[in-house]
Amino acid sequence: MEIFHYETPFNKWLTIKVKEGISSIDFSDNKEEKIITSKIQDLLILFFSSGGRVLPPWEVLNVRFYSHFQIKLYKKVRKIKAGETSSYKELAEKLCCHPRIIGRMLSLNRHALFIPCHRIIRKNGFLGGYKWGRKLKEEIITWETSY
């Protein structure tokens, strides 16, 4: 497993673990850099230069540890355009489950930004939870809408 760090516009670093594809993407305060592979760097540059509008192909994500339900949910989440949001309830209705299940499954997302769970908010318009904190969720949503 290789681990890389990539600076983001959110005053946080992405920690990227690679083994048979991108295994996980996480936010951290780690400022120790390891040179990132050019393929992953190209994906990140494209993502950030597009304001989150260009996600990498599903095939580059190592998703074998996700359940069938998670994959179904995460593919729906990836269809939400940058700068737009959907609610836990809307997703739950599409997948015939309870909104809390959606929240729980999103908290298990190992591919920050590339499975953009930050685009899921409460039906009343409040942000709801986020694995890396509401402040960062708000910053990412604001960044995407400003593009």
Please report, in tens digits, the pLDDT of each residue of the chain (147 residues total). Answer: 788 888 888 888 888 888 888 899 888 876 666 667 778 889 999 999 999 999 999 999 999 999 999 999 999 999 999 999 999 999 999 999 999 999 999 999 999 999 999 999 999 999 999 999 999 999 999 999 998
- Tell me phi and psi for residue 120, to 5 degrees: -100, 125
Query: Per this entry, what is the length of the chain?
Result: 147
**pTM of the prediction?**
0.86
The answer to whether 117 is a known catalytic residue is yes
12: helix, coil or strand? coil
Chain centre to alpha carbon of residue 39: 18
* Catalytic-labelled residue, pool 105, 117, 121, 141: 117
Pairwise CA distance, residues 136 & 94, whole Å: 27
DSSP state string for 16-40: EEESSSEEEEEEE------PPPHHH
